[in-house]
Chains A and B, each alone.
Chain A
Amino acid sequence: MKIILKDVKIVHPQQEEIKEKTNLLIVDGVISKIGKLEKEDNKDARVFELDGKVVTPGFFDMHVHLREPGREDEETVKTGSNSAANGGFTGIACMPNTEPAIDSAQVIELIKKEAAGHLVDVYPIAAATVGRHGELLSPMAELYESGAVGFSDDGVAVKTAGMLKRAFEYSSMYNLPVIEHCEDESLAGGAMNESINSTLLGLSPIPSVAEDIIVMRDILIAEYVKGKIHIAHISTKNAVDMVREAKKKGIKITAEVTPHHFTLTDDAVKTYDTNVKMNPPLRTRADVDAVITGLKDGTIDCIVSDHAPHSPEEKETEFEFAPNGIIGLETEIGLSLSELYHKKILTFEMIVEKFAVNPRKILNIPIPKIEAGQKANLTILDLDEVWTVDIDKFKSKSSNSPFDKKLLTGKALGVINNGKMFFNDEFIDI
């Protein structure tokens, strides 16, 4: 099938800029021509009049919880992939805290099987240790061979410094990163960030130093063994400062942040809304400002959702008993464009780097090119559309989002990948 994306602006940070509006001819899922189209090109083609909308390499979210296997009532590989497509993503990496954990080739095979044939590419991140228990190394070689793109005990940090050192050493044979959820067990375990608000609300506190101390530990070990470390969902000022310094020293370190950590502070907890209970917890204004500075100066490489679906009955409960996390695939582009691009913190090129380029670099996944002859792997965006978040329209199986009814500026209109297009709320074979 032939489709034409008419009058689009292509933005690709790694390619030469095309200033004027142009056209993309895509035949059977492959970019066939960019530029002025002939009469023949238009023949039998389905034309999408896009009038100045933006086309970028497909966006990629490297921190998603798909809940399959184990909690298919909350999300499956399929519903999570649909959610990603609706949110503007053509690729996601899924975290290993499933039941059982992604610590064997069989679980990876299951996920690959469920993901096969979808528009969205799903890349499993495997557990660094068996069962994420921190006691035995996971079979990293076999996991790598099956398709794992990184290792993490996400949900917790790799339990001991000794085990982390071995995880770095072993994973470095395959140049895969260890992705760390930085939280010291003995300092953590509370329900919200330690601040005046935790005192006022009577909620057990998680001090920011619980994150900082593991970031420091991990940087030191990564430096010592020349390991490749990626800091997941960074949330504190000290952590951002430490990553910045580590980068200056040439340590192989990267970091990601979620939209909720650059848009909300722990003031949001004041109504005991369990949809603002997450781990790491929402922090203070100073932390949010530091994270934004980190995004701007390149300390923070990518934006991720930490998409964490939970059932309503689990979330509609006492704050202390509610599980951590919110879904985010379908709001993160809107939040990033509203809060970072439109507020002139990041240029749109920088947004594309953080969503499409850097996550793939970290996970050694090729970055889609927008050139004739290349497979079409694209995200189409309207940077200025004003829209209201409506969780009832989400493709995710869950609806635990604090951003329902929020007014946002800028959204993904559709995605193209694997010979499929998602546009106007439907999947089309192209």
Chain B
Amino acid sequence: MPLSNRHLLGLQNVPKEDIQLILDTAITFREVLERPIKKVPTLQGKTVVNLFFENSTRTRISFELAEKRLSADSINFSASASSVSKGETLKDTMRNIEAMKVDMVVVRHSAAGTPYFLTQICKANIINAGDGIHEHPTQGLLDMYSIREKFGRIEGLKVCIVGDIAHSRVALSNIYGLKTMGAQVSVCGPSTMIPKFIEDLGVNVIYNIDEAIQENDVLNVLRIQLERKAREYFPSIREYAKYFGINEERLLKNGKDILILHPGPINRGVELSSAVADGMNQIILKQVTNGVAVRMAVLYLLGTLN
């Protein structure tokens, strides 16, 4: 059964069957990554462009690696976010790239909705690699993959997303995906970093990190994005770390074996203490490996649709 949509713009409205299919397919590719020769010929002859209008290291490398493991030809295009005053418009950039006959476009952009905009102006399959503070669907998928790998299921689990929910593209993709898969989702962070209408999505809001630890099976801890003006939203890093940071004492105090995810890069000593970041509960590096497998699954499923 193929995917129901030829683009992956976000996890909003992606049916359960599609998520299931991607996660199941990723298991196969995860196995490929453990082989001595980590390459399959699946997307031979397909061309994928990684269109990155915003700085990204791990997501870009992860996609690039996934493309190479599938034997696709990949091109990287990096540019600072376009605007009319700075030169070529996004529409012109896209048309130029399309004229080079690409099959798939992986796009990262600081403006929400850009992947959707690209679907209106070009024919390639579009994969959202993060658009502003909107969605980052492959991150949501790899988080779900990692949770499922650990617990064997997603349904019925309690997952809390911790941190700057309002300025995170990871949060929304996690909320959509996890809820579709039957998890109970809550968010925890300073109230200035919780979007005003988030509860309308069927998400509980917790302001006390200890409570969040006690009540959940999984904490998906977001990076405090210091570059995104986040500093205007809380008094100090010290205060954030003290009231929302996760450290060993806090985990011990709550006496709970809890799974900790983090999309990286970590601000050590802010949202996670170094001990926790390297400790028993986390699977942060596993997430990175799983990310390649999940992106291979997405590229494969979209690339072989037509």
Partners in one complex: yes
A203 adjacent to B113 (CB under 8 Å): yes
B84 adjacent to A317 (CB under 8 Å): yes
Bound form: Cα–Cα A87–B234 in Å: 50
Quick one: which of A199, A316, A319 contacts B113, CB cutoff 8 A? A319
Quick one: which of A199, A317, A320 contacts B196, CB cutoff 8 A? A199
B111 adjacent to A321 (CB under 8 Å): yes
Pairs A-B, 7 closest by C-beta atoms:
A202-B134, A272-B113, A318-B111, A202-B112, A320-B111, A196-B197, A199-B195
Specify which of B109, B112, B132, B169 lies most central, judged by the most chain A CB atoms within 10 Å of its CB.
Answer: B112
Specify which of B81, B89, B113, B131 lies most central, judged by the most chain A CB atoms within 10 Å of its CB.
Answer: B113
Shortest Cβ gap from A166 to chain B (Å): 31
B198 within 8 A of A: yes
B196 adjacent to A204 (CB under 8 Å): no
Residue of B nearest to A314 (CB): B84
* A201: B residues at CB distance < 8 A: 112-113, 134
Quick one: which of B121, B169, B196 contacts A202, CB cutoff 8 A? B169
Specify which of A194, A200, A314 lies most central, judged by the most chain B CB atoms within 10 Å of its CB.
Answer: A200
Residue of B nearest to A311 (CB): B84
B12 adjacent to A202 (CB under 8 Å): no
Q: A272-B117, A318-B114 are in contact. Are A313 and B195 (CB under 8 A)?
A: no
Q: A202-B132, A202-B134 are in contact. Are A318 and B197 (CB under 8 A)?
A: no
Quick one: which of B83, B131, B135, B201 contacts A321, CB cutoff 8 A? B83
Bound form: Cα–Cα A314–B135 in Å: 24
Q: A196-B197, A314-B84 are in contact. Are A320 and B132 (CB under 8 A)?
A: yes
A316 adjacent to B196 (CB under 8 Å): no
B200 adjacent to A317 (CB under 8 Å): no
Bound form: Cα–Cα A205–B194 in Å: 13
Bound form: Cα–Cα A194–B12 in Å: 19
* B113: A residues at CB distance < 8 A: 201-203, 272, 318-320
Bound form: Cα–Cα A196–B90 in Å: 28
Count, chain A residues at interface, CB 8 A? 23
Interface residues in B67-90 by Cβ distance below 8 A to A read: 81-84, 89-90
Bound form: Cα–Cα A200–B109 in Å: 17
Residue of B nearest to A271 (CB): B116
Count, chain B residues at interface, CB 8 A? 30
A204 adjacent to B91 (CB under 8 Å): no
B133 adjacent to A318 (CB under 8 Å): no
Binding site for A on B (CB under 8 A): 12, 81-84, 89-91, 109-114, 116-117, 121, 131-135, 169, 172, 195-198, 200-201
Quick one: which of B112, B196, B201 contacts A203, CB cutoff 8 A? B112
Interface residues in A373-421 by Cβ distance below 8 A to B read: none
B117 adjacent to A313 (CB under 8 Å): no
Bound form: Cα–Cα A319–B120 in Å: 13
Bound form: Cα–Cα A316–B117 in Å: 9
Q: A195-B197, A196-B197, A272-B117 are in contact. Are A318 and B135 (CB under 8 A)?
A: no
Residue of A nearest to B133 (CB): A202
Bound form: Cα–Cα A139–B197 in Å: 46
Interface code A339-373, partner B: CB below 8 Å = 1, 0 otherwise? 00000000000000000000000000000000000
* A195: B residues at CB distance < 8 A: 197
* A319: B residues at CB distance < 8 A: 111-113, 117
A272 adjacent to B84 (CB under 8 Å): no
Bound form: Cα–Cα A314–B89 in Å: 9
Q: A202-B113, A272-B116 are in contact. Are A317 and B134 (CB under 8 A)?
A: no
Quick one: which of A199, A317, A321 contacts B197, CB cutoff 8 A? A199
* B112: A residues at CB distance < 8 A: 191, 201-203, 272, 319-320
Bound form: Cα–Cα A319–B115 in Å: 11
A318 adjacent to B200 (CB under 8 Å): no
Q: A316-B89, A316-B91, A318-B109 are in contact. Are A204 and B133 (CB under 8 A)?
A: yes
Interface residues in A160-205 by Cβ distance below 8 A to B read: 191, 194-196, 198-205
Bound form: Cα–Cα A231–B14 in Å: 43
* A205: B residues at CB distance < 8 A: 195-196
